[in-house]
């Protein structure tokens, strides 16, 4: 556990939806395993009826971001094209962040990696549940999470985590 206690990916997922888990899949060349040997969760499923753009249908900015795939783009499976566009979008968001924001994310990733596997799994479940909540509820839970001490955050996570269970009384809040 870091000197800052439990402040891993959960707060990141609450503040920057989609980016936290995206870090595991953001490095090129990882097909069977994500970041730090975590299993990759398979190809992106493109919903029926969704048309993935051909090279000529991409915006100039998108073309620039996936230029290395230009010659193969139209022959790639739709799932690979979707993943390439998502990686490019995450890269652009990362590059737009301040050094302070990037360091907070790096610290969160370090803290996350230090968690025991069972707490990491609880955190992933909590993040899935959080993403399913309406935005106002997500923001409220995020604010509650940030207001807690590292010990209180850990207690809440051990109980199931935000989005899964109400904040436990021992975590400094009222059970809902």
pLDDT at residue 81 in the model: 92
170 versus 124: the higher-pLDDT residue is 124
For the whole model, what pTM was predicted?
0.54
Q: How many CA atoms lie within 13 A of 21 on its CB side?
A: 17
User: What is the distance between the alpha carbons of residues 176 and 169, in angstroms, rounded to a whole number?
Assistant: 10
CB atoms within 10 A of CB 7: 21
Q: The tokens 């990141």 sit on which residue?
A: 12
Task: Identify the domain containing residue 120 by its residue range.
Answer: 9-30+44-171
Examine residue 35 and state whether it is found in any structural domain, yes or no. no
The Cα–Cα gap between 136 and 138 comes to 5
CA distances for 33 relative to 30, 88, 107, angstroms:
6, 19, 22
Number of domains in the chain: 1
Digit-coded pLDDT (tens) for 67-78: 999 999 999 998
Q: What is the pLDDT of residues 68-126, one digit of tens each?
A: 999 999 999 988 999 999 999 999 999 999 999 999 889 888 888 888 898 888 888 88
Q: How confident is the model over 114-139, as a mean pLDDT?
A: 88
Structural domain includes residue 161: yes
- In the prediction, which pLDDT does 115 show? 85
114 found inside a domain: yes
- For residues 91 and 174, which has the higher predicted lDDT (pLDDT)? 91
DSSP string, 15-69: HSTTHHHHHHH-STT-SSB-GGGPBP--PPPPPTTPPPPPGGGS-HHHHHHTGGG
pLDDT single digits (tens) 17-68: 333 333 333 333 433 344 444 444 556 677 777 788 999 999 999 999 999 9
- Look at residue 4 and tell me if it is in a domain: no
Tell me whether residue 14 is in a domain.
Answer: yes
> What local confidence, expressed as pLDDT, does residue 76 receive?
92
Residue 122 falls within a domain, yes or no?
yes
In this prediction, residue 62 carries a pLDDT of 93
* Domain presence at residue 1: no
Residues 6+ apart with CB under 8 A from 147: none
136 found inside a domain: yes
Residue 116: Cβ-neighbour burial (10 angstroms; 0-12, 13-18, 19+):
exposed
d(CA 159, CA 118): 12
Give 87-92 contacts, CB < 8 A, sequence gap 24+: 87/25, 87/26, 87/28, 88/62, 89/65, 90/18, 90/19, 90/22, 90/23, 90/26, 91/26, 91/65, 92/65
Residues 120 and 110 sit within 8 Å (Cβ to Cβ)? no
């Amino acid at each position: 556990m870091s000197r800052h206690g439990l402040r891993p990916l959960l707060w990141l997922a609450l503040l920057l939806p989609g980016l936290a888990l995206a870090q595991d899949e953001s490095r090129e060349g990882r097909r069977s395993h994500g970041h730090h040997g975590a299993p990759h969760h398979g190809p992106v499923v493109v919903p029926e009826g969704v048309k993935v753009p051909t090279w000529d249908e991409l915006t100039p900015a998108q073309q620039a971001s996936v230029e290395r795939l230009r010659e193969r783009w139209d022959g790639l499976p739709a799932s690979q094209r979707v993943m390439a566009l998502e990686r490019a979008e995450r890269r652009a968001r990362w590059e737009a962040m301040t050094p302070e924001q990037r360091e907070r994310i790096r610290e969160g990733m370090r803290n996350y990696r230090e968690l025991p596997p069972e707490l990491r799994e609880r955190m992933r479940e909590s993040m899935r549940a959080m993403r399913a909540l309406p935005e106002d509820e997500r923001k409220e839970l995020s604010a509650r999470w940030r207001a807690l001490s590292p010990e209180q955050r850990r207690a809440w996570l051990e109980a199931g985590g935000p989005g899964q269970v109400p904040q436990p009384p021992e975590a400094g809040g009222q059970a809902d």
